[in-house]
């Protein structure tokens, strides 16, 4: 038996054992080619990288090949996208390539809830696991504090304007903003799945206890501040974006921004250190940059532009990851992140599992914590073939961008040779390369075929093009994305959304904002119950949010909650500490 055997060891035990042989930070820095002072150690196992120094020194250096990892429409269990990202990094390492992975920092909400950490799994993990999963170097805390500081500024201003006349306000150097309490766009932030805080009343008590109104909380990683961290290219860019955040509207409909409240500078001050990406490593010693957070709807669901700009100067291959399936994560990578960064990808990996494809073919529901039905553990080619329609849809999405898709079949021990052969055949008939990968069970060695296919595809120069022009009216963009990416027959707009579209299209600066669509990740459609490749449906847009600081507007389809809920059997029930050693146990 291998000393690190995922068949008998949980992920946290594998990570704990692997950490005994971690590369020292100085060796990681040397392998990356960092100069003195570009690595900022934070203890023995973690470090931040000074992105400004690195980008300045390497401004004329050649850039590496850029590969995105996306997926089919996942089951609620996920399909191993991060595990595949890390496995591909390890596989390219086995081929002797200089490679860096760029991934997102996990949120405390999923880590302590049902999904668990986002460090990968088996023999394809990012370590050290515990700091990666819990706090890392404090970036999410910075986002939470900057976000809540804006809410403090807004609610305090509402209280003072309610209690004082104009003369009293003027003594404090304030002018009346006439904030409409029913138009407040933001809620408070907390990095847990706290459904009890979704809808709350604040300001109860007397005049000195704040302004009473309906409010609530959202998970920190859904904050526009997190989106700004993901898309900023540097401190100046972040400072400009922070001042454009729209918190509310006044009673005549004018935007109330963080700049109006004079809180934008202090919010940026909270975020200075968070601009530097964090350096970790795979259990095989390849460098991983961790920056920005998950939540692939509102908060764009990408690792940061800064991390990618740094990595692409340090490595020959950069493997990044987009949240959820290609309909959400890759579409935003393609039309938002790449447009903002100026980087053009050379290939994209679409992660698929036989299990998920059977579900899309009509298999029984897959539920976290519940045993899998027998259809998922025994050969069932009829379900699988039908479910591959979902895979083909995602292949077509990637191909519309002009780049080469490589389907990675993330192999499970119950997959049969006939099932694997069927997925490969249908993927290749749809115009994709394919590879079977057992990186979970074998690490980089199990990802050799995938790494070879990716390395070959990445050498080809492709004709990469955006789906839409920023000159295109918002309504047309939404209809184009709905038809070309989701497969909808049309779009309907609620009155609220129509009103917002008119406002956006009537404002020259807002017309140039990108489009960040929000819908469920569990279906190509807006309805999570519609599996496979739904046909004959219409996308309903009920509202449009404005994330002017992040640089996009957010059309919302269906019922999307910015605060997930904690399930009945959350992960925190199994997390504990060995009081003799101080080591955390039970993470997954």
Q: So which residues are the catalytic ones?
A: 81, 83, 104, 115, 296, 324, 412, 440
Handedness of CA 110, 114, 117, 120 (dihedral sign): negative
CB-based contacts of 5, cutoff 8 Å, min separation 6: none
Rounded Cα distance, 47 and 35, in Å:
14
Listed residue (338, 376, 295, 392) closest to 72, CA to CA: 392
Rounded Cα distance, 507 and 510, in Å:
5
Listed residue (367, 181, 384, 206) closest to 375, CA to CA: 384
Specify the length of the chain in residues. 588
Cβ-contact 191, 219 below 8 angstroms: yes
What does the DSSP assignment read for 208-267?
Answer: GG---EEE-EEEGGGSHHHHHHHH--SHHHHHHHHTT-EEEEBTTS-EEETTTTT-HHHH
Tokens of 70: 């996306």
Tokens of 237: 């860019």
CB-based contacts of 204, cutoff 8 Å, min separation 6: 212
User: In 3-state terms, what secondary structure has residue 62?
Assistant: coil
Cβ-contact 380, 408 below 8 angstroms: no
Cβ–Cβ contacts within 10 Å for residue 579, how many? 7
């Amino acid at each position: 038996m291998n000393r690190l055997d995922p068949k008998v060891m949980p992920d946290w035990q594998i990570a704990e054992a692997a950490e005994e042989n971690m590369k020292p930070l100085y060796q990681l820095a040397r392998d990356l080619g960092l100069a003195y002072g570009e690595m900022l150690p934070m203890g023995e196992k973690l470090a931040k990288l000074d992105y400004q120094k690195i980008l300045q020194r390497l401004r004329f250096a050649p850039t590496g090949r850029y590969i995105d990892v996306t997926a089919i429409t996942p089951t609620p269990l996920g399909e191993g996208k991060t595990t595949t990202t890390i496995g591909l990094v390890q596989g390219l390492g086995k081929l002797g390539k200089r490679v860096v992975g760029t991934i997102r920092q996990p949120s405390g909400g999923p880590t302590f809830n049902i999904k668990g950490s986002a460090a990968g799994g088996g023999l394809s993990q990012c370590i050290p696991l515990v700091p990666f999963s819990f706090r890392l170097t404090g970036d999410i805390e910075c986002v939470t504090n900057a976000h809540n500081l804006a809410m403090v500024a807004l609610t305090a201003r509402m209280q003072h304007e309610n209690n004082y006349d104009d003369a009293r306000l003027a003594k404090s150097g304030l002018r009346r903003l006439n904030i409409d309490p029913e138009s407040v766009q933001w809620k408070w932030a907390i990095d847990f799945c706290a459904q009890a805080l979704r809808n709350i009343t604040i300001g109860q008590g007397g005049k000195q206890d704040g302004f009473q109104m309906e409010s609530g909380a959202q998970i920190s990683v859904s904050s526009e501040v997190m989106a700004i961290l993901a898309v900023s290219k540097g401190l100046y860019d972040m400072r400009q974006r922070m001042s454009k955040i729209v918190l509310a509207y006044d009673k005549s409909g004018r935007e109330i921004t963080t700049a109006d409240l004079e809180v934008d500078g202090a919010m940026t001050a909270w975020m200075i250190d968070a601009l530097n990406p964090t350096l970790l490593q795979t259990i095989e010693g390849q460098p991983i940059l961790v920056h920005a957070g998950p939540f692939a709807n509102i908060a764009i669901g990408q690792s940061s532009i800064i991390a990618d700009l740094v990595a692409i100067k340090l490595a020959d291959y950069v493997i990044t990851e987009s949240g959820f399936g290609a309909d959400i994560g890759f579409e935003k990578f393609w039309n938002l992140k790449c447009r903002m960064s100026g980087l053009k990808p050379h290939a994209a990996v679409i992660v698929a599992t036989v299990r998920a494809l059977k579900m899309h073919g009509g298999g029984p529901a897959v539920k976290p914590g519940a045993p899998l039905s027998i259809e998922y553990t025994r050969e069932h080619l009829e379900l699988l073939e039908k479910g591959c329609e979902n895979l083909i849809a995602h292949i077509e999405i990637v191909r519309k961008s002009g780049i080469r898709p490589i389907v990675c079949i993330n192999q499970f021990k119950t997959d049969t040779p006939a099932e694997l052969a069927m997925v490969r055949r249908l993927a290749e008939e749809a115009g994709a390369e394919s590879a079977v990968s057992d990186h979970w069970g074998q690490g980089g060695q199990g990802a050799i075929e995938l790494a070879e296919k990716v390395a070959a595809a990445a050498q080809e120069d492709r004709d990469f093009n955006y789906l839409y022009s920023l000159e295109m009216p918002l309504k047309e963009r939404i209809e184009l994305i709905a038809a070309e990416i989701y497969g909808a027959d049309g779009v309907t707009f609620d009155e609220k959304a129509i009103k917002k579209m008119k406002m956006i299209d009537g404002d020259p600066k807002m017309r140039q904002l990108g489009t960040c669509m929000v819908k469920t990740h569990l279906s190509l459609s807006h309805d999570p119950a519609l599996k496979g490749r739904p046909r004959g449906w219409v996308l309903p847009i009920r509202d449009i949010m404005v994330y002017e600081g992040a640089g996009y507007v957010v059309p919302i389809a269906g019922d999307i909650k910015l605060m997930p809920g904690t399930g009945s059997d959350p992960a925190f029930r199994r997390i504990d500490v060995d009081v003799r050693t101080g080591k955390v146990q039970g993470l997954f």
